[in-house]
Amino acid sequence: MKTLLTGIAELITNDPSLGDGSPLGIIRRAALLIENGHVVWVGATADAPDADERFDVGGRAVVPGFVDSHTHLVFAGDRSAEIAARMAGERYTGGGIMTTVAATRAASAEELRALARARTREMTASGTTTIEAKSGYGLTVTDEARILRISGEFTSETTFLGAHAVPPEFAGNRAGYIRLVTGDMLRACAPLARWIDVFCDEGAFTGDEAREVLRAGIAAGLVPRLHGNQLGHGPGVRLAVELGAASVDHCTYLTDEDVAALAGSDTVATLLPTADRGTLSPYPDARRLIDAGVTVALATDCNPGTSPVTSMPVVIALAVRETGMTPSEALHAATAGGARALRRADVGRLSPGARADLVVLDAPSHVHLADSAGSPMVSELWRHGRRRV
């Protein structure tokens, strides 16, 4: 079955060899042919090949589905008291993670599944077609494995984040908790995850602790990524580059050496501006990173403490307003950048061979995403060649 989309005012392919030759590879007055869940042809409507069915999108823009490469999808509980205190000026330290850990441990699998389902529905409704999902609110062998099992019902991009915080049972025994994370917990979780992550920051895990955890994960077959440089200048970025991590996420506080190290590496800098908003922090400087040649991704960091956000258009709008990105760069970071951060070549682009994961925007140009500030913007969403929204 061949399906042809026509009437596309601008098609964002993210293939610079196509269309206008920009990084977005924009083809105007375009059509796109789908077969077996994949894009098999893109070009001008006038040159479109025959198809079994045709859909006219009515002069709208078509963009790759958003790749949200950093979410904490599975959690229970509520942090409103902490959020209110922070909005009144209290500093974020990561201490509230334990509130969510207690609620998540107490929730049934069915409750966690229902909460994750509701969040993924919101993500889909706002144009996301690929998500990553971390554990990290269980912090016992059984709770971390349970979160990863549930995460795996929603995505294959699952991340073991046992080193998110030291749980109260291990207060005063950090070394004991690291032994658990790199031992029994890793053995139970590695078969359920593709990635390993650590919260390496002030008040969280040190560079040496993070290195130990990530090395153990690598030895167990997982690929490293990490939370770093969110709360201050720290060793996270340099450790990510040292270990060849796919991505280092947050990057709010960077030295010139950090930027140079990223520029000389394959590690993606994933910016999470809605988390900086939620912690009343400065915003990361995307302009500095892009001008240095660093690959930048944008993601929601969907979590109950710093970023209760599921919408990539909101992240794009905030990134353009606050981090120095152009609308085109922000869209690229939210699609191709996220795909790079997940080392996926099949998503985040709309050229032949890619998965037919796409969004028909309710606008003639992708530029409107930068101005959407929360309105859904999604006219249609297609995943694997089938219309879902």
Binding site for ligand NIG (CB under 6 A): 94, 96-97, 100, 199, 227, 230, 275, 301, 303-306
At 158, the amino acid letter reads: T
- Residue closer to ligand NIG (CB basis): 163 or 363: 163
Q: How many CB atoms lie within 10 A of CB 287?
A: 14
Q: What is the rounded distance in angstroms from the CA atom of residue 313 to the CA atom of residue 124?
A: 12
Residues whose CB is less than 8 angstroms from the CB of residue 315 and which lie 6 or more positions away in sequence, other chains included? 272, 273, 274, 298, 299, 300, 309, 334
Least distance (Å) between residue 262 CB and ligand NIG: 19
- Select from Fe ion, ligand NIG, none the partner in contact with residue 97, using the beta carbon and a kind-dependent cut-off of 5 to 8 Å: ligand NIG
Least distance (Å) between residue 21 CB and ligand NIG: 36
- Select from ligand NIG, Fe ion, none the partner in contact with residue 167, using the beta carbon and a kind-dependent cut-off of 5 to 8 Å: none
SS3 label, residue 104: helix
Q: In the 8-state DSSP scheme, what is residue 183?
A: I
The candidate with the shortest Cα–Cα distance to 44, out of 26, 64, 29, is: 29
Report the run of H or E that residue 132 belongs to, with start and end. strand 128-134
Least distance (Å) between residue 209 CB and Fe ion: 17
Least distance (Å) between residue 151 CB and ligand NIG: 15
User: Within the chain, where are the H helices?
Assistant: 80-87, 97-106, 109-125, 141-151, 174-180, 186-189, 207-219, 236-242, 256-263, 273-278, 286-291, 312-322, 327-332, 338-341
- Residue closer to ligand NIG (CB basis): 139 or 290: 139
At 242, the amino acid letter reads: E
Residue with tokens 């201490």: 95
Residues binding Fe ion: number (CB under 5 A):
1
- Select from Fe ion, ligand NIG, none the partner in contact with residue 100, using the beta carbon and a kind-dependent cut-off of 5 to 8 Å: ligand NIG
Q: What is the rounded distance in angstroms from the CA atom of residue 280 to the CA atom of residue 100?
A: 20
Least distance (Å) between residue 136 CB and ligand NIG: 7
Binding letters toward Fe ion, positions 295-334, x by CB under 5 A: ------x---------------------------------
- Residue closer to ligand NIG (CB basis): 19 or 96: 96
- Select from Fe ion, ligand NIG, none the partner in contact with residue 157, using the beta carbon and a kind-dependent cut-off of 5 to 8 Å: none
- Select from Fe ion, ligand NIG, none the partner in contact with residue 306, using the beta carbon and a kind-dependent cut-off of 5 to 8 Å: ligand NIG
- Residue closer to ligand NIG (CB basis): 286 or 356: 286
Residues whose CB is less than 8 angstroms from the CB of residue 203 and which lie 6 or more positions away in sequence, other chains included? 93, 94, 95, 231
Q: What is the rounded distance in angstroms from the CA atom of residue 177 to the CA atom of residue 320?
A: 40
- Residue closer to ligand NIG (CB basis): 2 or 277: 277
- Residue closer to Fe ion (CB basis): 3 or 270: 270
- Residue closer to ligand NIG (CB basis): 250 or 349: 250
The contact set with Fe ion (CB under 5 A) reads 301
